[in-house]
Amino acid sequence: MKINSISLKNFRNYSQSKIELSPRINLFLGNNGHGKTSLLEAVWICVNGRSYRTAKSKNVINFSNKSAEIEIRTTNNDSINEIKVQITENKKKFLVNDKKNKNRSELKKILATVLIDREFKENLEKSFRPRRLILDSIMSNISLSFSKKLQLYSEEIKRKNEILRTSKNDDILDFIDVRLLNLSHSLSSERSLWLSRITNIAGKVLRKLAPKNSLDLNIKSDSLDSESLNSALKSNRIKEKITGKCLVGSHKDQISFILNGFDAFEFGSEGEKKSVSMALKISEILLLKKVNNDFPIILVDEIGSEFDQKRFNFFYTFITSLETQCFITANNKSVLDINKSKDFSIFSIINGDCKKIS
């Protein structure tokens, strides 16, 4: 699974650019704001159907233009595919080998990606909601089943909140709660299963950093037990009518990671938080390999910004040792000092102009 080339037209600060890529390691060097992250974003959009930086299509279109286009050419074993994304202010159109593609899940059958950036750790450090959302994005990337359940559940929560804000009709709310009971229990159960797998692998990774490290998962959720969930739905009905929001269900699950007996993101040191964040992302990579029987393409934004030298060396050695393609951005040329691989290309990005320099 490789991206041979990427072409950008009126995307972010790229007017028009075509980049031929190495099948292994691609290092993109440049100052902040010149287009390094935008390049990773373009790859992510082609594979996942949406940006991870903005919900509005118009935000990715180059200033003073009305449309943008991304095109990537891929190779997977003997299969060659061309994925094209045409973006206007109101919508995105996807074409695979010049045929319109309406099912975004089909894109993931062509390519899989893992994104590693600063925001991942920052969301893990915040409250339970952003932590749950960022972890859900990992599980959705690994499991189509989980992604579909999450979407169905989210749609049902929106319906319930609409009724709670308007008619507050108990018959309709009872009907929705029956559906939520099943959806919420199923979603939280699958979430717990995948998080257990992720934590197990992350724990092994952390023990390679320090043999005495131990990592455990803690989930607080009414949704894991159907009787408790049913009782909570009934007892919170009056509060929900007052607030106009559903107060019970999978969207209230609280997830914590316990490192050496302490909550890693509540009481851990900065270094410990970075280690757990790194280990969770490595788990995502390894689980995708197990699910797809192939490593995903790895996108790393500003590789040197979050790690001290020990963690940087560990992580860089891991991702560059895999038989997969890597896209790595950096604004510091020191990343080249430890690069031992000959199978890599170096690019310079200045104001949306990407040129191969080695």
Residue 341, token pair as written in the block: 């691989």
- Chain position carrying tokens 């959720």: 221
pLDDT tens-digit series, residues 93-116: 999 998 888 677 777 778 899 999
Predicted TM-score (pTM) of this structure: 0.93
pLDDT band at 342 (very low <50, low <70, confident <90, very high): low
State residue 123's pLDDT score.
95
pLDDT band at 336 (very low <50, low <70, confident <90, very high): low
Residue 6, strand partner residues: 19, 72
The partner residues of 27 in beta bridges, in order of sequence, read: 328, 346
- The tally of CA atoms less than 13 A away on the side-chain side of residue 313 is 6
So what's the pLDDT on residue 134? 97
> Cβ contacts of residue 339 below 8 Å, gap of 6+?
25, 27, 320
CA distances from 319 to 4, 74, 209, 323 (A): 19, 20, 15, 9
Encode pLDDT of 203-248 as tens digits: 999 999 999 999 999 999 999 999 999 999 999 999 999 999 999 9
What is the total residue count of the chain? Answer: 358
Domain range 1-112+294-358, its CATH number among 3.40.50.300, 1.10.10.350, 3.90.1150.10, 3.80.10.10: 3.40.50.300
Render 175-211 in DSSP notation, one character per residue.
HHHHHHHHHHHHHHHHHHHHHHHHHHHHHHHHHHH-T
Across the beta sheet with 254-259, what order do the strands follow? 215-220, 254-259, 262-263
Q: For residues 299 and 283, what is the distance between their CA atoms, to the nearest angstrom? A: 15
What topology is assigned to 122-292 in CATH?
Answer: Glutathione S-transferase Yfyf (Class Pi); Chain A, domain 2 (1.20.1050)
> Where along the chain do its domains lie?
1-112+294-358, 122-292
Contact predicate 48/57, CB 8 Å: no
